[in-house]
Structure 1
Amino acid sequence: MALRPVQVNVKALDAAAVGRFWAEALGWSAYNPGVTTYVGPGGGLVWPDPVAVGIDVVPVPDPKSPVKNRLHLDLATTSAAHQEELVARLKALGATPADVGQGDVPWTVLADPEGNEFCVLEPREVYRDTGPVAAVVVDCADPRAMARFWGDAVDWALHEVTDDRAVLRSAQGVGPYLEFLRTPGVKTVPDRVHLDLLPYAGDDKAAEVARLRGLGATALDVGQGEVPWTCLADPEGHEFCVLAPS
């Protein structure tokens, strides 16, 4: 049994507008298969994408709180000129500068039109083959504990574990990294952005949920009601969902 991260779930007042922003930002396409707006590589809707981790923008009635999201995207660039051009283009699309206490760093911190923070990285060799999304980054208190949980929760390979960060990537060596960075502070508001995991075809979702709970995940009620997915939280309280296999 195994699970794979298939999309980043983003809550938004205007899901269509935020979806269009991310499609333009990444050079992908926005699809509206239902009430949500799914953003994935162009060429027609393929879900789950075999390589990319998509973005599913879900309409909600409440705006983002001023508190920094605990999960954000890092975008890859190939040169200093590309980084400068991408930052300028993103601002033209509606992104705004964000101060999360980063100080003087070589990357640029921005927020999408509804305030969700993300970073445009300086060129880094490690991200040269990830596609536009270099990494899905999660703030945490204990990267080693997150490596233990998430290393067993999903079928991605563990690349690095230190006191300051844990790094996973698809076992096939494609697509973005999943990184847990040691960060001060604790969770104070519900997550605005979270990961969605998917069992493989033929796998039993209920068995996967039970396996995750055995690893330390806890049940989560965010008012979802009767839905085909299951909401959970990891041992540090990061929310995530297990989707029904397609």
Structure 2
Amino acid sequence: MGATADIFIPCFVDQLYPATALSMVKVLERVGVTVNYNPNQTCCGQPAYNAGYHPQSRSVAGKFLQDFAAPSEAPRYVVSPSASCVGMVRNSYSELFAGTAQLSACQAVQGRTYELTEFLVDVLGITAIPGARLDGKYTYHDSCSALRECGIRAAPRRLLDGVAGLERIEMAETTTCCGFGGTFAVKFEAISVAMAQQKVEHALDTGADYLVSTDVSCLMHLEAYIRKEQLPLKCLHIADVLASGW
């Protein structure tokens, strides 16, 4: 395709699900994207921002802008396997850098930043990954960040429907929050667990083998409940599904 992508690996993926980052690289290279990784990258600043520490978040976000400043002679995309982080960059950065000298740099990065599935489908026009195969049935969870902050709904489903051997069964209330919400899960544990229980029950009602989403934060939360209750359902990030079978 001739595209070049600077990949951003979020904290959750880096620390807890590094294989998902490798799956994203595998998928991007499979469709002809040149992948660059800047080892100096850290965090997008979302944890501090959501906790109300905006000056500290701005400092971290400023480093993000520096880390992903593209050379003027070769503008590149910024691609991440997390709609949550992409939503932070696209939306919250506008508030953080409003009226500052960094606003122009902020807008330049915002215009180049994409979540993996929307990059593949909406930018590159790809709706199936060659060789992708996973036998079984899946149901899809629309994360709050993907759906509400980034407007992502069709792209993940189109890619998953292109995976050989995989059948989609939509669950009830697929757009309802899973209950994670970062520190929400810590501050309001009982509510968070009840929301996870409801989401998992809807998924189980479909008879699906897999619960798939764009955000490992949601999947981590749901997987913890599934494991605790020893339920027959496996959580998979979409990058891991697209990298299966080849």
TM-score where L is the length of structure 2: 0.28
Specify which structure has the higher proportion of helix: 2
Larger Rg: 2
Greater share of residues in strand: 1
TM-score under structure 1 normalisation? 0.28
